[in-house]
Amino acid sequence: MYPFRTTIKMIGLVYNSQAPETVKMVAKLEKSVSLPKDYWKCAASELQEMNDVLPETSVIVVAGGDGTILRIVRVIAPHGIPMVGINMGRVGFMAELRVEEAVEMLPDYLEDGLRVEERMMLEATVVGPSESAPRLTLHALNDVVVGRGGVSGLLDIETTIDGVALTSYRADAVIVSTATGSTGYALSAGGPIMYPETRAMLIQPVAAHTGLSNGVILPDYSVIELHAGAAHEAVLSVDGFADMQLRPDDVVTIRRSPYITRFLRAHAPSTFYAALTRRLGLENL
């Protein structure tokens, strides 16, 4: 965490094209907020086409939910661009601004002095037994999951940590999560909640029949290997996007990513706990 000290040269406005209200929000920002002369806008699905302007972009404003943020992180993280999210989704653990306050408060996020919240990411590689180099490398803010494909049946997922065998999970899936992802799929599978800037990894099985049923929290320098047995089809999913079907002998290696995700924050770090109770519906319990 450090202060945001930069001269705003260019900002990007990114929206979820599948949600018409986000397009309207961006139009409202263009009309009502004094934006830098150099700004650009695009749908989250088209962000990869903006590679020519990303190196010059100082801040990205995201209109959408957590899913929209997860979709764009892979593209902007290598550039180190901080973002501020306008929550137009259902949960919104990562977006800070509410729709009704976006126009009034956004200018504060474009000035010096705000803090930058840094979130650890994961790197997942897939290597087959006859391959000398990974055929796929992906980066995740939330989680990396090895789970069942389209057929029923449990997977046997051999899990090692730093070369030492941990267990063979017989389960629907195994999640490797960051602290950010601990409030996502891992939480629904019974995992613990970690403060989002914690630099750690969580291994959490889903509906484990054998092996450990509890989550295991590891330091951020750990290297985790997952190998799903050949009895059933296994799929690799990164940040909720099913990226590829795994071959029977594939090994998925997960370690800390060289990239981080940056969020601009005006609120104190402790507001995470209030947001947690509100967004999980615990206020009146």
- Which residues are part of the catalytic machinery? 66
What is the layout of strands, in order, in the sheet containing 216-219?
A: 216-219, 200-206, 173-177, 143-148, 234-238, 241-246
Owner of token pair 């150099």: 38
DSSP 134: -
Residue with tokens 């995992």: 191
Element (H, E) at 13: strand 11-15
Contact yes or no for 251/127 (Cβ under 8 A): yes
Angle at 48 between CA 105 and CA 114, to 5 degrees: 25
In contact, 234 and 147? CB cutoff 8 Å: yes
* CA within 13 Å, CB half, 206: 20
Longest CA pairwise span in the chain (Å): 59
Helices 102-109 and 20-32 meet at what angle, rounded to 10? 60
As to burial, measured by CB atoms within 10 angstroms (0-12 exposed, 13-18 middle, 19+ buried), residue 180 is buried
Q: How far is CA 46 from CA 14, 35, 71, in A?
A: 9, 21, 11
Would you give the distance in Å from CA 188 to the centre of its chain?
Answer: 16
Kind and range of the H or E run holding 118: strand 115-127
Two tokens at 199?
A: 């630099």
